Amino acid sequence: MLFYFTLFLAFVYFKIFRVRRELEVPTTFENIESLVTLATIAGLVVFGFMHFTWYILLIAGFVFFLMAAVMVSAVQLGMFVDGKPILVISQVFKLMLPLALVILALTAATILL
């Protein structure tokens, strides 16, 4: 179960990164952060293909991709209460580093446990 949660967070992270890359020019630190996270997720996917059936991973990956895309699109369009946005995309951008650290920790826990 931890594997699927980590996989979902990975899709959310890279969807946010893609949106941020379109709106801002990423710094060198952000590029290194995304490469480390990408390497971690590649290890997670290899672990998944070794321990789970491939068609379950593809179905889960497709569903998680769609969920992440809809979630980030909803934040981009804006959720308003009384004319003021609840969550703006710049606040989500600030959460990318903690999200990357959570993904790293959960991947390590998934592989080691």
Distance CA 48, CA 56 (A): 10
Structure tokens that stand for 26 in this block: 């990423």
Q: What is the pLDDT of residue 67?
A: 97
CA nearest neighbour of 89 among 104, 74, 105: 74
| Coil, strand or helix at 109 | helix
pLDDT in tens, 21-50: 999 998 999 999 999 999 999 999 999 999
Number of Cβ atoms within 10 Å of the Cβ of 111: 16
Q: Has residue 4 got a pLDDT over 90? A: yes
Whole-model pTM over 0.95? no
Q: What is the pLDDT of residue 82?
A: 78
Distance CA 68, CA 6 (A): 13
Q: What is the pLDDT of residue 42?
A: 96
- Tallying the residues shown for the chain, one arrives at 113
- Hey, where are the domains in the chain? 2-112
Q: What is the pLDDT of residue 39?
A: 96
pLDDT in tens, 65-111: 999 999 998 888 877 777 777 888 888 999 999 999 999 999 999 99
Structure tokens that stand for 69 in this block: 């895309």
Number of Cβ atoms within 10 Å of the Cβ of 103: 22
Q: What is the pLDDT of residue 88?
A: 83
